[in-house]
A and B are shown apart, each in its own frame.
Chain A
Amino acid sequence: MSALLASELLKVRTTRGWYVYLLVIVLFGGLAAAAEIGSAEDARRSTLEFQVGLVEAASIAGLLGLILGITIVTTEFRHGTITPTFLAAPVRERVLAAKAGAASLVALLFFVLALVVIAGVAVVWLAVVGADLQAGSGELWERVGQTLLGAVLWALMGIAVGSLVHAQVAALVGTLIWIFIGEPLLGALLGLLDLDGLVSYLPFQALDAADGAGADSLLAYGPGLAVAAAWVVAIGAAGLVRTSRRDIS
């Protein structure tokens, strides 16, 4: 198993896209933190609530983890490398498990990188303006843990979607359309039918709640995490069946 995981991680590192992911995280994390701090009032900058909110910018790791998760499955079908992959590991469930492990580790790395960049910007800026750091707060670190777990769930959702929809463009574009257009439209439709309560159970609404950022329209953290995990497991199970049964020809 560790051999397959090492192989999957090597696959990720040996294509150019890898550096694009890292660059996006550094840029987005740095800019988001700077924008938040720059636009906040002096008094607010020292509050725990504000600094916990800064951690939210690290959830970029989740979105990129989702894209990476979809990509590391579908790129194998796109370029036909799924053939040598399955020749080396003919039990396909093990390949998907290794990919899930690799995506989780990469999402963790993305998150740590984002957090380091955000913390770097925050520590320097807050010191310059003389604001107090709340780095010792348990609540802050709880949010860090929640956002990290959320990022890993998003990446696992990517593996699940990719193993169900093998066509790369369809999987990537379809997922992004679903997140930004499909779910909002469906949410509005459910609203018209007086089924507002169901909206927060949609997969990416639940994944949003699992980031820990919270919002009135979302489920609370615990239920949100559970519903998001249930979606990942359900779509992942369908993907497992689809990938196992598929003829590689």
Chain B
Amino acid sequence: MIEVEGLSKRFGKTQAVRDLSFRVDPGTITGFLGPNGAGKSTTLRAILGLVHQDEGSARVLGVPYRQLDRPLHRVGAVLEASEVHPGRTGRNHLRVLAAAASLPRSRVEDVLALVELSTAAKRRVKGYSLGMRQRLGLASALLGDPEVLVLDEPANGLDPAGIRWLRDFLRTLASEGRTILVSSHVLAEVAQTVDRVVIIHRGTLIRQATVPEVLASVQGATRVRSPEAGRLRELLAAQGGAVTAVGDGTLAADLPPERVGEVAAANGIVLHELTVERATLEEVFLELTGGETTQ
């Protein structure tokens, strides 16, 4: 559906993307994650034929974007909310794009209603809030009812209610069988929505997997509660695990739960609780990217 192979792009002295390869399968929502400046926008723009890569290839629906016949009918994209002429009305902005794609005017009204902008459509875009501009961007992406959607930081600048609206909206779009690639530097925005993640950092691929796979790959701490926490702590530390006291009689150990249970049993220590803390996607993200996020 979307295939990126060996993509590299340099802007002057900055290597924005380096030998990046990943794929987005049909019918999935893929989160494209990385800190600000990781090369996400450059990659998306290369996929869409806006940036010329130095090396490698990017294909959408099997061909480079530029070779797509009637591209707006196949691929919808939202790159930046500000890419609208401020003096044009929201409706006219969409009419211009609809005309270029030979779409009927009724589509303009359809997508305006879909993103709940019908009442603001006759106003000039310069009077729009950032959230309204984001929704206008989504409307333009949906004009041609495309099977693939590429969204670059669609939640940027949205308030919590707007982010929630967006999340529900993306879920609806995905349930219609569309393929969605959505980038973000704020994981919480997409964590509940995406099936797969592609994580990049400094222009290179860090991880490409399903959300459960990524979560499983990072061992969470083992949490153990015992009336003899002090003795257990010394014994676990002797096993080479990093152990910290996290509360009254509770320890967090950097050891598998099996090992903690064995140590406790071998020393006759009573346990009141033994659980594995699941790493959140947020923690995985921070760990994989060395904590360099803006969060």
Contact = CB atoms under 8 A, between A and B. Distances in A.
A84 interface: yes
Given A79-B83, A80-B82, A90-B71, A7 B50 contact: no
A170 B154 CA distance: 32
Contacts of A3: 99-102
- By size class, the interface of chain B is 35 or more
B50 A88 contact: no
B66 A91 contact: yes
Contacts of B87: 15-17
A87 B77 contact: yes
Interface residues of A, number: 27
B49 A11 contact: no
B80 interface: yes
- Most chain B beta-carbon contacts within 10 A, residue among A3, A75, A91, A245: A3
Nearest to A80: B83
Interface in A1-44: 3-4, 6-7, 10-11, 14-17
B134 interface: no
A90 B68 contact: yes
Given A3-B100, A7-B100, A248-B50, A87 B88 contact: no
Interface in A79-94: 79-81, 83-91
Given A7-B97, A75-B85, A84 B140 contact: yes
B88 A15 contact: yes
Contacts of A249: 11, 41-42, 45, 50-51
Interface in A36-68: none
A248 B71 CA distance: 17
B85 A81 contact: yes
Contacts of A11: 85, 96
Interface string A74-109: 010001110111111111000000000000000000
- Most chain B beta-carbon contacts within 10 A, residue among A4, A11, A75: A11
Chief secondary structure at chain A's binding surface: helix
A216 interface: no
B144 to A, nearest CB: 9
A14 B97 CA distance: 12
Contacts of B68: 90
B49 A14 contact: no
B100 A90 contact: no
Given A14-B89, A245-B52, A6 B71 contact: no
Nearest to B92: A14
Contacts of A80: 80, 82-84
Interface in B99-114: 99-102
A80 B11 CA distance: 19
Nearest to A79: B85
A89 B72 CA distance: 9
A227 to B, nearest CB: 34
Given A14-B96, A80-B82, A88-B97, 4 more contacts: A14-B92, A81-B84, A90-B48, A247-B50
Interface of B: 11, 41-42, 45, 48-52, 65-66, 68, 71-72, 75, 77, 79-80, 82-89, 92, 95-97, 99-102, 140
